[in-house]
Structure 1
Amino acid sequence: MTTMDFAKARELMVEQQVRPWDVLDPRILDVIGALPRESFVAPAHRNLAYADLALPLAHGETMMKPVMEGRTLQSIDVQAGESVLEIGTGSGYLTACLSRLAREVISLERHADLVDGARARLVEQGIANASIIHADAFGWDNSRRFDAICVTGAVDTVPERFLEWLQPGGRLFAVRGRAPAMEALLMHAGSGDGVNAARVESLFETDLPYLAGAAPAPVFEF
Structure 2
Amino acid sequence: MDYSIARRLMVERQIVGRGIHDPLVVEAMKKVPRHRFVEEALWAQAYSDNPLPIGEKQTISQPYMVALMTQALELKGGEKILEIGTGSGYQAAILSQIVSRVYSVERISALARRARRVLDDIGCRNVNIKLSDGTIGWETEAPFDGIIVTAGSPKVPSHYLEQLTIGGRLIIPVGGRGCQVLKRIVRLGQVDYKEEDLLDCRFVPLIGKDGWSEGEGPL
SS where residue 57 of structure 1 aligns?
Answer: strand
Q: Could you say which structure has the larger radius of gyration?
A: 1
Match of 2:120 in 1: 123
Match of 2:169 in 1: 171
Distance (whole Å) between structure 2 residues aligned to residue 52 and residue 80 of structure 1 = 27
Q: For residues 133 and 71 of structure 1, do their structure 2 counterparts lie closer, same or farther at Cα, with a shift above 3 Å needed?
A: same
Match of 1:27 in 2: 24
- Alignment-mate amino acid for residue 173 of structure 2: V
Which of 56, 60, 72 lines up with 1:75 in the alignment? 72
Post-superposition shift, 1:94?
A: 0.6
- Alignment-mate amino acid for residue 199 of structure 2: F
1:210 aligns with 2:205: yes
Post-superposition shift, 1:150?
A: 0.4
Point out where structure 1 has 5 or more consecutive residues left out of the alignment: none
Which of 146, 149, 152 lines up with 2:150 in the alignment? 152
Match of 2:182 in 1: 184
Percent identical pairs in the alignment equals: 32
Q: For residues 200 and 140 of structure 1, do their structure 2 counterparts lie closer, same or farther at Cα, with a shift above 3 Å needed?
A: closer
User: Over residues 190-216 of structure 1, what are the superposed CA-to-partner deviations in whole Å (9 max), with x where a residue is unaligned?
Assistant: 2114xxx21102212222222123249
SS where residue 138 of structure 1 aligns?
Answer: helix
Match of 1:10 in 2: 7
- Alignment-mate amino acid for residue 168 of structure 1: I
Match of 2:60 in 1: 63
Note the aligned Cα RMSD (angstroms).
1.9
Distance (whole Å) between structure 1 residues aligned to residue 137 and residue 199 of structure 2 = 29
Which of 97, 104, 108 lines up with 2:105 in the alignment? 108
Post-superposition shift, 1:16?
A: 1.3
Post-superposition shift, 1:21?
A: 2.0
Post-superposition shift, 1:69?
A: 0.7
Distance (whole Å) between structure 2 residues aligned to residue 86 and residue 44 of structure 1 = 27
Q: For residues 139 and 187 of structure 1, do their structure 2 counterparts lie closer, same or farther at Cα, with a shift above 3 Å needed?
A: closer
Distance (whole Å) between structure 1 residues aligned to residue 179 and residue 38 of structure 2 = 27
Distance (whole Å) between structure 2 residues aligned to residue 210 and residue 180 of structure 1 = 8
Distance (whole Å) between structure 2 residues aligned to residue 86 and residue 179 of structure 1 = 20
Point out where structure 2 has 5 or more consecutive residues left out of the alignment: none
Post-superposition shift, 1:141?
A: 6.2
Answer whether contact 1:95 1:105 (CA < 8 A) is retained.
Answer: yes
Distance (whole Å) between structure 2 residues aligned to residue 179 and residue 130 of structure 1 = 28
Answer whether contact 2:136 2:157 (CA < 8 A) is retained.
Answer: no
Which of 193, 200, 205 lines up with 1:198 in the alignment? 193
Which of 84, 92, 96 lines up with 1:95 in the alignment? 92
Distance (whole Å) between structure 2 residues aligned to residue 142 and residue 218 of structure 1 = 28
Q: How does 1:127-146 map to 2 (within 5 A)?
A: 127-138=124-135, 142-143=139-140, 144-146=142-144
Q: TM-score w.r.t. structure 2 length? A: 0.90
